[in-house]
A and B are shown apart, each in its own frame.
Chain A
Amino acid sequence: MIFKTAFHALTTAFKGLSLTVKHLFGARKARQELDITKDNYFDKQDGIATVQYPKVKMPIPEVARYQLEVEIDDCIVCDLCAKACPVDCIAIEAIKSPEAIGKTSDGSIKRLYPAKFDIDMAKCMYCGLCTVVCPTECIVMTNQYDRSSTKLTDLIYGFSDMTDDQVAQRKSEWTKFQAEKEAAKSK
């Protein structure tokens, strides 16, 4: 019985060894097709599977959905994306404006200034829910996937184009407007 088991172990070990030696000598060439959209992709997968990443890059789909990008001029600062985000990686701070600021490219009227529009790419899980809810389609996923950094804070992308002075100015405009309204009301 025990000899039967041992013999079985030997034969299966031999089977495994012949498989690995096939791979050992098959390592002389690398797989030839990296693009999964090609028809013969699965026929050319023998050999080394490693892709030496920074030197060689895998082809990415035509419509890739990787890191987020915000076209801030089209943003109406509605905060829907931040609310939709399952991991809360989007932080938005809005400043109200006394009158309409302008129009986005699809005709929506902008009434809020984006004082802060930060996306923490280290938290983002690439679900794309923010792009779905966006009414003006200003937040999109791009084909950029690599932004390695030694500092974690580098992965917080700021999309707001307002300077500190501008923020302070808009804030004071709004407080002034409100104070005027209060004053008008109390009169």
Chain B
Amino acid sequence: MLDLFIHILVPVAIFTFIAIFTLFAVYAERKIAGFVQDRLGPMETGKYGSLQTIADILKLLQKELITPLLADKILFRLAPIIIFVAVFTGFSVMPWSQDFIPVNTHTGLFLIMAIVSIDAIGILMAGWGSNNKFSLLGSMRAIAQMVSYEIPVGLSLIAAVMLTQTLNLNDIATNQGVLATEEIKFLGVWSIKNVGGIFAWNIFQAPHMIVTYIIFFIATLAECNRAPFDIPEAESELVGGFHTEYGGIQFAFLFLAEYAMMFLVSMLGVVIFLGAWNTPLPNMGALKLANWTTGFAWGIFWTFSKSLFLVGVQMWIRWTLPRLRADQLMNLCWKVLTPLAFLCMAISAIWRILVIV
């Protein structure tokens, strides 16, 4: 009985988190957009516009669900659910703190890669089902983009996994700090197991991991269809891309999925490369900063702050860089990121054999 209760409680908690995060992130996004462009952003609803997104979501919930006359009704209705569920399920294997993970499975990373790809099918369903040329164009671009960028993401993750030797996200997280069960070395030379902190993170395990992380970050930006890779929903060319015909709560779910995806990929990057729930503060002599700032609550705090920082970077990039053209997008993926990711993977293999042993 208790088990069943927990099985229900965990998804509800994650959903609540996603909803609250989305409300917060949309507000933050509009404020950041404003500040970057020397504007103020929302100011009228509530103090400093803080109630703006709540007003928005209330408006969305009240709206009528309109299905276009010639739309494929089943696909149209199903698409937002599939898109959201795909992203939502990805959260099931993400570690929040030490041994605090909804599902502790040995194939966690694999599951995320597999299940987040379903997102692409949902987007195609949305675009095709809408029976609208803008939607179809948008979803076709989305599919091309997401399928292509899956490759650098996968390769960069393999490069990291070659060093960690496990797909279990909980183990990957544990082995990046003072609680590590294996020997960890900063850049392969300095044994750092008792020092911990930022030097123990995977990104500093080998020199090429920084490049790998940059590849991962750029490719995941494209995976979540964020600017500068937002050609699937390019407002100025395609109205709204695959979500042109959606309104009301269906649109709310698409929006929720987009922001959940942002957080998911940021968190995945944090878990694989940036030390997961481990502290960035190292032990320095008598100052046992790493030991002091490691613990259950600290873990949640570090996961949150690192992921939110990365989400902030994504927003910052969105409001700085202009959109890429479709051919530039494919060039970047196939001619730059993929070969580089292969190279990183090869270096990882050599590193594992020659340096870590």
Query: Pick the contact of B316 from A6, A20, A50 — CB < 8 Å?
Result: A20
Q: Decide yes or no whether A183 CB sits under 8 A from chain B.
A: no
Give the contacts of B27-75 with A (CB-CB under 8 A): 32, 34-40, 43
Q: Report the minimal beta-carbon distance from B149 to chain A, rounded to whole angstroms.
A: 15
Q: Which residue of B lies closest to A47 (CB)?
A: B38
B321 touches A49 (CB 8 A): no
Contact partner of B36 (CB less than 8 A), chosen from A23, A47, A49, is: A23
Report yes or no: A23 in contact with B321, Cβ–Cβ below 8 A. no
Indicate if B342 sits at the interface (CB-CB under 8 A): no
Contacts of B331 in A (CB 8 A): 2
Query: A2-B335, A17-B320, A20-B320 are contacts. A52–B36 as well, Cβ < 8 Å?
Result: no
Checking A2, A3, A16, A26 against B320 with a beta-carbon cut-off of 8 angstroms, the contacting residue is: A16
- The B interface is mostly helix, strand or loop, or mixed, namely helix
Number of interface residues of B (CB under 8 A): 18
Q: How far is the CA of A2 from the CA of B334 in the complex (A)?
A: 11
Task: Tell me the smallest distance from the CB of B230 to a CB of chain A, in Å.
Answer: 15
Q: Which residues of B contact A48 (CB under 8 A)?
A: 35, 38-40
Question: Would you list which residues of chain A between 1 and 57 have a CB under 8 Å from chain B?
Answer: 2-3, 6, 9, 13, 16-17, 19-21, 23-24, 26-27, 47-50, 52
Pick the contact of B321: A6, A16, A21, A47 (CB < 8 A): A16
Please state if B40 and A24 are interface contacts (CB–CB under 8 Å): no
- SS class, residues of chain A in contact with chain B: helix
- Pair B316/A21 contact, Cβ less than 8 Å: yes
Least distance between B319 CB and chain A CB atoms (Å): 6
A-side contacts of B317, CB under 8 Å:
17
Q: Which residue of B lies closest to A16 (CB)?
A: B320
Identify 16 new A-B residue pairs, CB closer than 8 A, beyond the known A19-B320, A20-B320, A52-B40.
A2-B331, A2-B336, A3-B336, A6-B332, A9-B332, A13-B320, A13-B321, A16-B321, A17-B320, A24-B36, A27-B35, A27-B38, A48-B35, A49-B39, A50-B38, A52-B43
State the A residues within 8 Å of B (CB): 2-3, 6, 9, 13, 16-17, 19-21, 23-24, 26-27, 47-50, 52
Name 29 A/B residue pairs within 8 A (Cβ), A-sorted.
Answer: A2-B331, A2-B335, A2-B336, A3-B336, A6-B332, A6-B336, A13-B321, A16-B321, A17-B320, A19-B320, A20-B319, A21-B316, A23-B35, A23-B36, A23-B37, A23-B38, A24-B35, A24-B316, A26-B38, A27-B38, A47-B38, A48-B35, A48-B38, A48-B39, A48-B40, A49-B39, A50-B39, A52-B40, A52-B43
